């Protein structure tokens, strides 16, 4: 943390100073046992109370004690500290009833901000998120296969306007999250230019340091989108879900009890790279069919190159024929992977997000539901559209600093033991 930084965000980062040696976000009890200590337990309780306040328009200390199971005295101490450091504010007292009316509490939207950058093969998106999870400002640019210099120029051209529009000072920013596909420079998609493999050797924090002078957190785009959905979206009704991100490629990720599970090599959820024997050609992968690049390639072959996404759901019969066939093929390609997901994970829902136009996202969800309804399965899992669709990776990226500094996760409780 910058020693010259002051303000709510610096205080918020200081909340975790005593536990900075704890494992990073996403750490799991996979290869050993891990205990905790009173400092970590206190930090976790504080994060839990902040999240409980954050998820309500307003609440009271009595309601927080009932919801979290913490004692009224603990709730009073935590909420007083959150008020003191500028993350929570009081909004008056609840009227009615006997005795002293309880204080109403809510998070201060300006208490902390996160910046999210999504880098993909067909676009760049930059968002600013406040503490409530609201997008205060966003910029998006459609660009085919942006190179590192394009990303730096995009951030430089937009950051000052975003800061003015969102209304934050540099000290209020917890950090920057960057979401991008794994193997961005290694996995070839249609139309990829020569030299795009340069992404394999890019040091993102170094690339962006001059334009974004905060801590930079980098994550897979599907993981970021799923994490964002778990914190801000439908995941509080569906705490266990499998997320599918339909972008230039196809990504995915499992969230179990609101915790993202990365797997032994941090590559869980790679449905797009699964073989697709239904495609009828050797070596075909699922994302060869289920991706925006695959749909765009079909449209180009039908005489509609560079068709805007807004026109993909139009009334032109020739376009509709291509789109209808793509939805049928996409449902076919995804059937076996989603049967595996339902049998192995048993999620509350499968959530579809990404840059596929929302009307087509809904049609694909319906088509998958119809196909899966005819397959004997141990349990029925609905296929739904995610609450944060198009901007989900950027919003999820902006959530990464909040997850590292303010919001609860299992990793906060972990105290690594000595190897034996």
Q: Specify the pLDDT at position 118.
A: 96
Same domain, 176 and 307: no
Residue at 2 is within a domain = no
Question: Which CATH number does the domain housing residue 135 bear?
Answer: 3.30.420.40
Q: Specify the pLDDT at position 265.
A: 87
Same domain, 120 and 221: yes
Residue at 1 is within a domain = no
Q: Specify the pLDDT at position 163.
A: 95
Same domain, 135 and 173: yes
Same domain, 141 and 155: yes
Q: Specify the pLDDT at position 188.
A: 77
Q: Specify the pLDDT at position 389.
A: 66
Question: Which CATH number does the domain housing residue 104 bear?
Answer: 1.10.10.10
Q: Specify the pLDDT at position 102.
A: 80
Residue at 85 is within a domain = yes
Q: Specify the pLDDT at position 109.
A: 96
Same domain, 130 and 170: yes
Q: Where are the beta strands (DSSP E) in 181-322?
A: 216-220, 241-246, 250-256, 259-260
Residue at 350 is within a domain = yes
CA dist 14 and 90 (Å) reads: 22
Q: Specify the pLDDT at position 18.
A: 43
Residue at 79 is within a domain = yes
Residue at 3 is within a domain = no
Q: Which has the closest alpha carbon to 218: 267, 180, 255, 262?
A: 180
CA dist 157 and 126 (Å) reads: 11
Same domain, 245 and 346: yes
Residue at 209 is within a domain = yes
Place of tokens 């030299």: 195
In contact, 340 and 363? CB cutoff 8 Å: no
Q: What is the pLDDT along the chain (420 residues), one digit of tens a residue?
A: 343 344 556 566 655 444 434 345 555 444 556 677 888 888 999 999 999 999 888 999 999 999 999 999 999 999 999 999 999 999 876 655 555 678 899 999 999 999 999 999 999 999 999 999 999 999 999 999 999 999 999 999 999 999 999 999 999 999 999 999 988 888 877 788 889 999 999 999 999 999 999 999 999 999 999 988 887 755 567 889 999 999 999 999 999 988 888 888 888 999 999 999 999 899 999 999 999 999 999 999 999 998 988 899 888 999 999 999 999 999 999 999 999 999 999 999 999 999 999 999 999 999 999 999 999 999 989 999 998 767 889 999 999 999 999 988 777 777 654 444
In contact, 29 and 413? CB cutoff 8 Å: no
Residue at 169 is within a domain = yes
Same domain, 266 and 311: yes
DSSP label at residue 102 = P
Q: Specify the pLDDT at position 204.
A: 93
Which tokens hold the place of 280? Answer: 């009828």
Per-residue pLDDT of 260-277, as tens digits, reads: 888 888 889 999 999 999
Same domain, 92 and 15: yes
Q: Specify the pLDDT at position 9.
A: 61
In contact, 56 and 106? CB cutoff 8 Å: yes
CA dist 332 and 337 (Å) reads: 10
Per-residue pLDDT of 61-83, as tens digits, reads: 999 999 999 999 999 999 999 99
Same domain, 245 and 377: yes
Same domain, 101 and 173: no
Domain that holds residue 215: 112-225+394-403
Same domain, 67 and 81: yes
Same domain, 155 and 81: no
Torsion of CA 297, 298, 304, 305, to 10 degrees: 10
Q: Number of structural domains, the chain?
A: 3
CA dist 67 and 140 (Å) reads: 39
In contact, 313 and 323? CB cutoff 8 Å: yes
CA dist 255 and 321 (Å) reads: 35
């Amino acid at each position: 943390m910058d020693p010259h930084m002051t303000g709510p965000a610096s205080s918020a980062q200081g909340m975790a100073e005593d536990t900075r040696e704890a494992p990073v976000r996403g750490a799991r009890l996979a290869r050993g046992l891990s205990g905790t200590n009173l400092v970590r337990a206190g930090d976790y309780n504080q994060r839990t109370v902040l999240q409980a306040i954050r998820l309500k328009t307003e609440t009271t200390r009595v309601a927080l004690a009932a919801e979290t199971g913490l004692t009224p005295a603990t709730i009073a101490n935590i909420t007083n500290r959150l008020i003191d450091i500028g993350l929570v504010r009081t909004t008056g007292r609840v009227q009615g009833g006997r005795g002293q009316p309880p204080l109403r509490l809510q998070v201060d939207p300006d208490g902390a901000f996160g910046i999210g950058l999504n880098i993909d093969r067909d676009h760049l998106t930059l968002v600013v998120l406040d503490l409530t999870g609201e997008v205060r400002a966003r910029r998006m640019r459609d660009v085919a296969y942006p190179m590192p210099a394009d990303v730096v120029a995009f951030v430089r051209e937009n950051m000052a306007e975003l800061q003015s529009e969102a209304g934050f000072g540099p000290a209020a920013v917890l950090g920057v999250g960057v979401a991008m596909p794994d193997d961005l420079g290694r996995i070839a998609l249609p139309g990829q230019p020569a030299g795009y493999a340069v992404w394999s050797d890019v040091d993102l924090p170094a690339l962006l340091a001059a334009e974004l002078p905060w801590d930079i957190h980098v994550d897979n785009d599907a993981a970021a989108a799923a994490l964002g959905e778990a914190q801000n979206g439908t995941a509080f009704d569906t705490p266990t879900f499998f997320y599918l991100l339909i972008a230039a490629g196809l990504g995915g990720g499992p969230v179990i009890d609101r915790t993202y599970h990365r797997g032994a090599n941090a590559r869980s959820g790679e449905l797009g790279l699964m073989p697709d024997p239904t495609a009828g050609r050797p070596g075909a992968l699922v994302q060869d069919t289920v991706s925006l690049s695959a749909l765009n390639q079909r449209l180009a072959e039908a005489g509609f190159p560079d068709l805007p996404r807004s026109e993909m759901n139009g009334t032109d019969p020739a376009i509709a024929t291509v789109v209808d066939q793509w939805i049928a093929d996409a449902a076919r390609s995804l059937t076996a992977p989603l049967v595996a997901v339902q049998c192995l994970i048993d999620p509350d829902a499968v959530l579809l997000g990404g840059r596929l136009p929302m009307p087509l996202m809904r049609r694909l969800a319906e088509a998958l539901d119809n196909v899966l309804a005819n397959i004997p399965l141990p349990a029925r899992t609905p296929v739904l559209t995610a609450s944060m669709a198009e901007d989900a990776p950027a919003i999820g990226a902006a959530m990464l600093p909040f997850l590292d500094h303010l919001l609860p996760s299992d990793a906060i409780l972990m105290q690594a033991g000595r190897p034996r």
